[in-house]
Amino acid sequence: MEGGAYGAGKAGSGVDPIAFLKQPQTILRILCWIFSIVVFASIVNEGYVNKGNNQLYCVFNKNDDACNYGISIGITAFFICILYITLDFYFPQLSSIKDRKRVVMADLGLSGIWTFLWFVSFCFLANQWQYTPSENLPLNQGADAARAAVAFSFFSILSWAGLTFKAWQRYRLGADSSLFSHDHLDAGNPPYSAGIENTETFQSPPFAENLGTTPKGYQVPSY
C-alpha cells in the first residue's frame, strides 16, 4: 500500500498520542465534542422553566420542538465526535486503501451534514429566543442557558465546517497518493511492467557468433 494514503502513514506505523492530540483535526473534534455538551446540557438543566404551576415548558418561546431539536442534535454530535476520535487514532492501522477511503468519505459526509444541522439549530433557537416574551422568564430563569445554547450552536457551525474542510483535504490527498496503485492494480497490470524491456531487442552474448568457427591457421587433423 502507498505510504501516506489519505493523510496517514504506512499501515502498522506507531501512533504518538501527543502528536495525535496536536493535530488540527483532533483539536477540532474535541471542540465539537465540548460545544455539543454545552448545548444539550444547557437545555436539559435549565432549558425548561415553570411559572406559577408545576408544568414545565421550553424556555425558547414555549416551543418544545426547539428544546427537543437542540438536545437531539447535541447528544448525537457528542457520540459522533467520540466515534471519530477513536477512528482517527486507529486510522493509521488500516492496511486497505479502500477502507481508508470509506472512513474519510463518511467523515466528509457526516461533517458536512452536521454543519448544516448546526446552522439550522442556530437559526431555529435564535429565532425562538428572539420572540420569547420576558414575562415567560421569571427572575431570568433559563435565560443564560438559552443564550449559551444559541452561542455554542453558532460555534459548532464553525468547528464542524472546519472538520468538513479537513476531511476534504484528506480525501484529495488520498486520491492523489493512491492514484498510481489504483490505476495499475485495478487493471491487473503490475506497476513494474512498464520497465520491462522488449524481448525482441535481446542480443546474443558476445563471441556467440564465433563459437561455430575455427581459428585461422588451424587444420583439423584427419584420422
Q: What is the dihedral of CA 25, 26, 32, 38, to 10 degrees?
A: -160
Q: Where is pLDDT greater, at 92 or 130?
A: 130
- Nearest partner of 157 among 36, 8, 1, 48, judged by Cα: 36
- Nearest partner of 123 among 165, 162, 156, judged by Cα: 156
Residue 71: Cβ within 10 Å count: 18
Residue 14 has pLDDT above 70, yes or no: no
Rounded distance between C-alpha atoms, residue 46 and residue 160, angstroms: 25
Q: pLDDT-based confidence at 42, cuts 50/70/90?
A: very high
Q: Where is pLDDT greater, at 219 or 200?
A: 219
Q: Mind listing the pLDDT tens digit for each residue in 81-119?
A: 999 999 888 887 877 788 888 889 999 999 999 999 999
Q: Are residues 128 and 65 in contact, defined by beta-carbon separation less than 8 angstroms?
A: no
- Name residue 58's beta-bridge partners: 48
Backbone dihedral region of 160: left (phi > 0), alpha (psi from -120 to 50 degrees) or beta? alpha
The three cell numbers locating residue 200: 525482441
Residue 108: Cβ within 10 Å count: 19
Q: Mind listing the pLDDT tens digit for each residue in 150-173?
A: 999 999 999 999 999 999 988 888
Rounded distance between C-alpha atoms, residue 196 and residue 3, angstroms: 25
The one-letter amino acid code at 69 reads Y
Residue 190 has pLDDT above 90, yes or no: no
Please state the pTM of the whole predicted model. Answer: 0.71
Angle, helices 143-177/97-130, rounded to nearest 10 degrees: 160
Angle, helices 24-46/64-90, rounded to nearest 10 degrees: 150
- The confidence score (pLDDT) of residue 10 equals 52
The answer to which of 30-34, 37-41, 45-49, 96-100 has the lowest mean pLDDT is 96-100
Q: Where is pLDDT greater, at 1 or 178?
A: 178
Determine the distance from the C-alpha atom of residue 92 to the mean position of all C-alpha atoms in its chain, rounded to a whole number: 13
Q: Are residues 49 and 57 in contact, defined by beta-carbon separation less than 8 angstroms?
A: yes
Q: What is the mean pLDDT of residues 23-46?
A: 94
Rounded distance between C-alpha atoms, residue 135 and residue 137, angstroms: 5
Q: Mind listing the pLDDT tens digit for each residue in 168-187?
A: 988 888 755 544 444 444 44
3-class secondary-structure state, position 49: strand
